[in-house]
Amino acid sequence: MRHNPDLIRTLLSVANALADAARLRTLQHFRAPDLQVDDKGVRAFDPVTAADRAAEEEMRRILAERRPEDAVLGEEGGATTGSSGLTWILDPVDGTRGFLAGTPTWGVLIAVADANGPFIGLIDQPYIGERFVGSPIGATFTGPRGPARLRTRPPRPLPSATLFTTYPEVGTAEEGAAFRRVASAARLTRYGMDCYAYALVAAGHVDLVIEAALAPHDIAAPIAVIEAAGGVVTDWSGGSAAGGGQVIAAANPGIHREALALLAG
Contact between 140 and a copy of itself (CB under 8 A)? no
Handedness of CA 52, 189, 156, 214 (dihedral sign): negative
Q: Under the criterion CB under 8 A, does residue 246 sit at the interface with a copy of itself?
A: no
Q: Which is nearer to a copy of itself, 116 or 184 (CB)?
A: 184
Does 252 interact with a copy of itself (rule: CB under 8 A)? Answer: no
Q: Which range of residues in 2-10, 100-108, 114-122, 209-217 is near a copy of itself by CB under 8 A?
A: 100-108
Min separation Cβ 65 and a copy of itself, Å = 29
Contact with a copy of itself (CB under 8 A): which of 100, 137, 185, 215?
A: 100
Residues of span 5-64 touching a copy of itself by CB under 8 A: 27, 31, 34
Choose, by CB under 8 A, the member of 6, 38, 39, 144 that binds a copy of itself: 144
Taking the complex as a whole, the smallest distance from the CB of residue 120 to a copy of itself amounts, in Å, to: 24
Q: Residues in the site for a copy of itself, rule: CB under 8 A?
A: 27, 31, 34, 97-98, 100-105, 127-129, 144-145, 153-154, 162, 164, 168, 188, 190-193, 196, 200, 203-206
